[in-house]
Amino acid sequence: METLNKKYNIAPTKDGFFGNYGGQFLPEGLKQEFEHIYEEFLKYKDDAEFNEELDYLLKNYAGRPSPVYFARNLSAKYGSEIYLKREDLNHTGAHKINHSLGEALLAKKMGKKKLIAETGAGQHGVAIATAAALMGLECDIYMGEVDIEKEKPNVFRMKILGANIVSVKSGTRTLKEAVDEAFIAYSKEYETAMYAIGSAVGPHPFPMIIEHFQSVIGREARAQFMEQTGRLPDYVAACVGGGSNAIGLFSGFLEDTEVQIFGVEPLGKGTNLGQNAASMTYGKDGIIHGFKCRVLQDEQGNAANAYSIASGLDYPGVGPKHCYLNDIGRVKYDVISDEEAVNAFYDLSETEGIIPALESSHAVAYGIKLAKENKGKKILVNLSGRGDKDIQYVLENYPKF
Ligand SMILES: *Cc1c(COP(=O)(O)O)cnc(C)c1O
């Protein structure tokens, strides 16, 4: 990753900081293990055999490269050229398989026997359970009791894939407690288990590991876009939960200063605390889950409950590199509401025959907004996942028929 030392696409410092953000706020007992993960990652990321194996799986198992598609009908409707990077076509239906395969292969090479992860709606859990099945690793997925009840299809998927679902019964019995309990379990089992983070967040070195495994999106997209249009896009946009699909796409364009880059956060139902999950836009500097970033917090400084219609986006923190890119002004972070996302969900389905995930619908909505406001531009939008999982919810809550 030789480009990482350039100004816009920096690697973290040795302590894991991107400017003011990131780092490693860990219990003493885990520091050495994280140092070990860092060293092993640095070794394997440039290891020919490792990369050959990963490339084989990305191509023949996950279905990469995912195409860049010129959305001609949507473009005609709004007066700009809108292109979609089709991560929705990956095995398991989203970009999450990219870093899950990478993390699982790294764990396997490190001699680990088990992956430990938490999940909210179950998307990350399914991707990790898939990679664990493939690599012959055990898999413990921590999930709040409330979420288990709500997300039955994904719970069944994980079980069929051989994962062990650990029901978390403390506190609100949702994602926050699942993260806490997964981490407690990991701190007891780290000698034989690897923690598999689900986004470009967490203590160093996880943000850089996830970015590395997701950067395939940006590399492919830049080359595909150049091949199809003979130039770079004017605008690039992706939705930001923790920030893995976004940093993956952005990493391909950070050095191209003529390309304007937009990270799209969920405005949910409004600007008040608890109504949205726009951590960059409405958060303050703080520490959450072992790293420093912009955090949605109450007046006492406690992390607030985040909300978005897209469960993959409702995290009260955001990846440290995004916070840095916001600080230096290289990426502009903006918001899209639940309602705008649902409109884009229907719009893309009707015009192009592509049903996007509600998460990705935020990026599509922003692409449409850019198209309307600036005619004749070339816009590349990351379609991070497909919307099958959201159909029932949308029809029940935003009925159109
Ligand atoms: C999980 C998820 C996201 C949000 O995660 P990031 O780490 O911010 O990319 C976005 N889109 C889809 C389809 C997801 O499943």
Are the beta carbons of 272 and 247 closer than 8 angstroms?
no
The catalytic residue positions are: 96, 118, 384
pLDDT at position 365 is: 99
pLDDT at position 149 is: 92
CA atoms within 13 A on the CB side of 197: 24
The two domains 17-59+96-206 and 64-93+215-397 share their CATH topology (first three levels equal): yes
Closest to 340 (Cα-Cα) out of 296, 380, 309, 306 = 309
Q: How far is the CA of 359 from the centre of ligand 1 (A)?
A: 6
pLDDT at position 236 is: 98
Give the residue whose CA is nearest to atom 13 of ligand 1.
385
Using CA of residue 155, residue 157, residue 160, residue 163, what is the dihedral sign? negative
Give the residue whose CA is nearest to atom 10 of ligand 1.
359
Phi, psi of 165 (to 5 degrees): -90, 120
- Sequence-distant (≥ 6) Cβ neighbours of residue 194 within 8 angstroms: 37, 103, 106, 107, 110, 112, 114, 115, 116
Atom of ligand 1 nearest to the CA of 313: 4
What DSSP designation does 329 have?
A: T
pLDDT at position 122 is: 93
218 lines ligand 1 (CB under 6 A): no
Provide the strand spans (E) within 199-250: 235-239
Helix (H, G, I), strand (E, B) or coil at 81: strand
Residues 351-381: tens digit of each pLDDT: 999 999 999 999 999 999 999 999 999 999 9
Give the residue whose CA is nearest to atom 7 of ligand 1.
244
Per-domain boundaries in the chain: 17-59+96-206, 64-93+215-397
pLDDT at position 6 is: 55
pLDDT at position 288 is: 95
Atom of ligand 1 nearest to the CA of 201: 7
pLDDT at position 193 is: 98
Q: Which CATH number fits domain 17-59+96-206: 3.90.380.10, 3.80.10.10, 3.30.360.10, 3.40.50.1100?
A: 3.40.50.1100
Q: Which of 87, 88, 123 to mutate to test the pocket of ligand 1 (most atoms within 8 A of CB)?
A: 123
The CA-based angle 88-261-352, given to 5 degrees, is 35
Q: How far is the CA of 312 from the centre of ligand 1 (A)?
A: 5
241 lines ligand 1 (CB under 6 A): yes
Pairing of strands 260-268, 81-86: unpaired
Helix (H, G, I), strand (E, B) or coil at 106: helix
Question: What is the C-alpha separation between 172 and 147, in angstroms, rounded?
Answer: 10
Per 3-state DSSP, the chain is made up of helix, strand and coil in percentages (nearest 5) of: 50, 20, 35
- Which residues is 385 bridged to in the sheet? 94
Burial class (CB in 10 A: 0-12, 13-18, 19+), 119: buried
State how far the alpha carbon of 24 is from the alpha carbons of 36, 102, 206, 317, 334, in Å: 13, 21, 10, 15, 27
Pairing of strands 17-18, 284-288: unpaired
- The tens-digit pLDDT sequence of the chain (401 residues) is 444 445 788 899 999 999 999 999 999 889 999 999 999 999 999 999 999 999 999 999 999 999 999 999 999 999 999 999 999 999 999 999 999 999 999 999 999 999 999 999 899 999 999 999 999 999 999 999 999 998 899 999 999 999 999 999 998 898 888 999 999 999 999 999 999 999 999 999 999 999 999 999 999 999 999 999 999 999 999 999 999 999 999 999 999 999 999 999 999 999 999 999 999 999 999 999 999 999 999 999 999 989 999 999 999 999 999 999 999 999 999 999 999 999 999 999 999 999 999 999 999 999 999 999 999 999 999 999 999 999 999 999 999 88
CATH 3.40.50.1100 given to domain 64-93+215-397: yes
> Other C-beta atoms within 10 Å of 156: how many?
12
pLDDT at position 2 is: 40
pLDDT at position 401 is: 85
